[in-house]
Amino acid sequence: MIPGRRKAEIWKYFQKCDSKNKIAACNFCKKALSYKTTSTNLRIHLKLKHILEYNKLMSTSSPTAVYSKTCKETASFSSNSDEETLAAEDSPQLQESEEGTSDEVKQIHNKITQIQNKSLREFVAANNINMKKKQLKMMEVEHKLHVKIARLKIRKLQLEIELLSNGKTDTTKP
């Protein structure tokens, strides 16, 4: 949950473009986002797409220090080839930088965003596969139930035919 001060500060990163439908545009990528009930969508977008700016919003410490922490947390999800790129976070010149706008920081930011997006896509794909497997099992069970019902209906008709054939031809009279 964002404290009240940060709620107001979120609007430094977004421009209200449709107050009737409560739509705001990101100042960085111009993506339109809804803020109908809360500004959570805006914060999540900032966190997922513009991590440096999100860190500035969420922390009073320097963006580079927060960003360095994020790099270390993200590195645990990365592959070996990504670790070489993330090793730049340990360089003294990067940690001493207070601006957080150097090319090196932007490169690391882009790499982390790529890693996070890849991890998210893999997570979503895995969940989609699991959901499809569950859906398939449910459809198989449903199919078996339909087959059982059809067999029962067939058997019922066979019994009715047999009953009618054994002498009771008129079932409408008592």
- Which residues, including other chains, have CB under 8 Å from residue 16's CB and lie 6 or more apart? 23, 24
pLDDT of 70 above 60: no
Q: Pick from 7-11, 35-39, 98-102, 146-150 the range whose average pLDDT is largest.
A: 146-150
**Residue 173, phi-psi category: left (phi > 0), alpha (psi -120 to 50), beta (remainder):** beta
b/e sequence 93-131, b meaning 16+ C-beta within 10 Å? ebeebeebeeeebeebbebbbebbeeeeeeeeeeeeeee
Scanning 37-102, the segments in alpha helix (DSSP H) are 40-49, 51-58, 63-75, 80-86, 92-96
Q: Could you state, in order of their start, the residue ranges of all structural domains in the chain?
A: 1-58
* For helices 63-75 and 103-165, angle between their N-to-C axes, nearest 10 degrees: 50
> Could you report the per-residue pLDDT of 125-156, keeping only the tens digit for each?
888 888 888 989 999 999 999 999 999 999 99
pTM across the whole model: 0.35
